[in-house]
Amino acid sequence: MVGVEATGSYHRPLAYALHRAGFPVYVLQPLSVASYARSLLRRAKTDRADARLIARFLSERVHELPAYEPSPDSLTLLSVLVRLEAGLASDRVALLNRLHAWAYVLPSLSDLEGIPDRIQGIAREVRSRALEVVRSDPLLSGWFSALLSLPGVGEAIALRVLAYSGDMRRFSSARAYAAFTGLTPRLHQSGQSPERGRISRVGPPALRGAFYMAALSAYRFHPDRRAFVEALLARGKPKRLALVALANRLARAAWSVCVRAEVGGLDNLAG
């Protein structure tokens, strides 16, 4: 039995390899491990101490934790490609900023100005490869088409939702999926007065960002979604909160349309 703390890109290939080698693997939320460490009043923080902490946490909580199950290979490949494209876009912007900052001091750097365009070209190649993966897989193709039917969701957002959601079939309901995205509010209760706090933010930030961008687009270009936001504004809600509420709705709709697409695909195969 192996416990691996989620650490961005680094834990994924390790968890995948360990699972394929036959080990039961548990991917742990860093926030949960950090809260557990505070409960122990831990003073030392070293790699060795962290490893012991994770082992102790896993031994005490293993019965509450879901075992790691890798996504289908096509979905894993899509996830890597989408993350690679995002990394290239980030690197391009960082390079543009550095070149601009030094342009007036070191004019000789002007011969490097074509590099950001080449990075953008590589990013387009990666996007093209990701779309090939989607089109070649019946399940992903169905989910992708279903997501594109939602207001505010275009090609880039649909790819990001697929890449960061993983296998949609592992969620039991739209509510469970929305909770995974971190777009659901925390419930705080004191005495007889329950109050909803800020969203939990427990899921992938890139996934929340994708649904928030979809909500912005839907608010601008879809009258019914605009009406939903304006109704919340009329009740005194801040605009950002109203848009987050719309993003939550879109997340629930995303799960629902993907489930319906899968059922429809199975019915077609059976026919």
How far apart (Å, rounded) are the C-alpha atoms in residues 67 and 224?
A: 40
Per-chain mean pLDDT for the chain: 87
Percent of the chain with pLDDT over 90: 50
What value does the mean pLDDT take over residues 112-133?
Answer: 92
How far apart (Å, rounded) are the C-alpha atoms in residues 198 and 185?
A: 5
Handedness of CA 105, 109, 110, 114 (dihedral sign): negative
Q: pTM higher than 0.85, yes or no?
A: no
What value does the mean pLDDT take over residues 247-262?
Answer: 92
What value does the mean pLDDT take over residues 255-268?
Answer: 71
Residue 212 one-letter amino acid: Y
What number of CA atoms fall less than 13 Å from residue 66's CA on the CB side?
Answer: 6
How far apart (Å, rounded) are the C-alpha atoms in residues 142 and 262?
A: 7
Predicted confidence (pLDDT) at residue 151 exceeds the cutoff of 70: yes
CB-based contacts of 42: which residues, under 8 Å, 6+ apart? 49, 53
CB 207 within 8 A of CB 160: yes
Predicted confidence (pLDDT) at residue 268 exceeds the cutoff of 60: no
How far apart (Å, rounded) are the C-alpha atoms in residues 221 and 246?
A: 14
Predicted confidence (pLDDT) at residue 263 exceeds the cutoff of 90: no
For the stretch 37-47, pLDDT in tens is 888 887 778 88
